[in-house]
Amino acid sequence: MFWKKASKMPPSPVVLITGASTGVGLALARRLWKSQFRVVLTAREGSLKRFQNETFADPHFFVRPLEVTSAESRLALKNWIDENLGGVDILVNNAGISYRSVIEHMSDEDLRKQIETNFHGPFSLIRMLLPKMREKGWGRIINVSSVGGMMAMPTMGAYSASKWALEGATEALWYEMKPWNIGVTLIQPGFINSDSFKSVYLNEQAKLSSTDAQDPYHEYYRRMVPFISEKMKKSRSSSDDVASVVFKTMLSSNPPLRVAATKDAWFFGLVRRILPRQWYHLILFLCLPGVFRWRNTYKLKDYYSESEKTPTDFKKTG
């Protein structure tokens, strides 16, 4: 028989949450406190001190360091969980970073860090944990994506690239794991009322452009930064709202591939499916803040001056 017979959730499933020291990860940890789950909370070494302010006085809660981009750190965590808890039943890939930069300003190192944190690291963890899930015939893999995984915005191209990669690979994994009763889900939040927009990365070139009014991309940064922060401040969705969606997905006997975690994420998904793609992109373009002023401060070079030949001046020779 192709389909592996479904088994029930283990009595005390082990949940691994990456990026658990803030935001959605921390909100989910609070929801799981004093539950049937054994929970492993992870964060970078420098962020572990944040857990000191939490009252996770529960013998089923464990705090471990994890640098998601480090193969050595990932392996050390897996080995510790295998030895002490017998493996992971539910993986919540929540850790991530975001660069705010136009494509021209992204260096190779910036792109590498963005992709490794949001895509390569999470899927390296998945590959390490799948064998035990398949042996048990049960598991849950929940990847926290974003509306940035289905629509792109200027100055956030690298972030969207990492989330689109996450979405594509997760969709493939959803098919691959069906016979093993391993649920694979993408959680797609939109704007969340939090201070996470303050944690975005700006490289040196982006910082210079944002302060230099004569820079070709100055208006991009000047307009987009307050635009995004305003959307987040006015959002009625919180990290706890998203954590609630993740929690319900964990408990689902048949979790879907994609779950919109906020109302705006649901709306963007609907508009993207309904509108012809040309209209969809035009509408989004017109909604960008001050888009018709983005080039006003920059004078294009006149490549064809009166003293130079234009392409039509050349005659066929030979």
Active site residues: 159
* Beta-bridge partners for 311: none
Which positions ≥6 away from 228 have C-beta within 8 Å?
153, 191, 197
- Alpha-carbon dihedral sign for residues 138, 143, 147, 152: negative
Residue from 194, 199, 187 nearest 47 by CA? 199
User: 3-state class of 13 per DSSP?
Assistant: coil
The answer to whether the CB of 87 falls within 8 A of the CB of 129 is yes
The 10 Å CB-count burial string (b at 16+, else e) for 28-50 is: bbebbeeeebbbbbbbbeeebee
Place of tokens 């391993």: 182
Total Cβ atoms within 10 A of residue 199: 11
